[in-house]
Amino acid sequence: MPITAADVEDTVRATTATLAEARDAAWDDPAGAMDWSCWETVEHIADNFFFYAAQLGPRVAGTGSSVPFAWAQRRPGGPGLVLYADRDAGPAGLLRCVDACGALLAAMVRTTPPDVRSHHDDGVLDTEGFAAMAIGETLVHMHDVTTGLGLPWTPQADLCARLLARFFPGSPTDTDPWATLLWATGRGDLPGHRRQTDWRWGVQPSG
């Protein structure tokens, strides 16, 4: 089953609804085992939505390089981003950025022909691939963030299974899809399988 614009919208809604429960939390605490803070990681989620939407925008798609936005790091070791949220707007403003950027990607996925190809740092993606990549990164980074903020986060098994089929086709299929996605991205153990320490998204066009 494909990854669709509706899946992007559902992921954005789940993300913002979950994080809305922690508006008074310690957003500058680390996001799980990452070196980034919870705030920085959510900025990265918003930036991904925006950046992937932009790759589908040019009338002549480019498979050799990404759209050349300038990016910057606000501190050594922090994420390099194109888009930053206004800290004065607080967590509510940060979630509006996620919501807005997610809507941009959903709109681009809905209106861009499926045969469009564009550059990703790890390969080439089609329209569905950019939707899938944004969702996949959001799900696992939300695991990082919610670990740091002390919130529950369990995405839908069907969505996780579709992401595994697209990006990690050699993964076990007889295990819980969410636990398997965490394992495939180096974030958890899976009984009977060696822990993943060297992994990458399998980013090639489908079909």
Q: Is residue 190 part of a domain?
A: no
Give residue 84's domain range: 5-63+70-184
- Which residue, among 107, 98, 110, has the nearest Cα to 2 in the 3D structure? 110
Range 105-113 average pLDDT: 96
Q: Is residue 206 part of a domain?
A: no
Sign of the torsion formed by the C-alpha atoms of 81, 177, 181 and 114 = negative
**Could you tell me the end-to-end alpha-carbon distance of the chain, in angstroms, rounded to an integer?**
12
Residue 124: Cβ within 10 Å count: 15
- Give the model confidence (pLDDT) of 148-159 as tens digits: 999 999 999 999
Distances (CA, A) of 8 to 18, 57, 83, 155, 200: 15, 17, 19, 13, 21
CATH number at residue 55: 1.20.120
- Tokens 């614009």, located at residue: 5
pLDDT score of 24 more than 90: no
| Phi, then psi, of 192 in degrees rounded to 5 | 85, 0
Q: Is residue 200 part of a domain?
A: no
Q: Is residue 74 part of a domain?
A: yes
- Give the model confidence (pLDDT) of 54-99 as tens digits: 999 987 766 778 889 999 999 999 999 999 999 999 999 999 999 9
Q: Is residue 207 part of a domain?
A: no
Distances (CA, A) of 123 to 36, 115, 118, 202: 25, 16, 9, 8
Q: Is residue 57 part of a domain?
A: yes
Residue 38's pLDDT band, with cuts at 50, 70 and 90, is very high
CB–CB of 157/182 below 8 Å?
no
Q: Is residue 12 part of a domain?
A: yes
Number of domains in the chain: 1
pLDDT > 90: percent of the chain: 79
Q: How confident is the prediction for the chain on average, in pLDDT?
A: 93
Q: Is residue 143 part of a domain?
A: yes
pLDDT at residue 206, as a whole number: 53
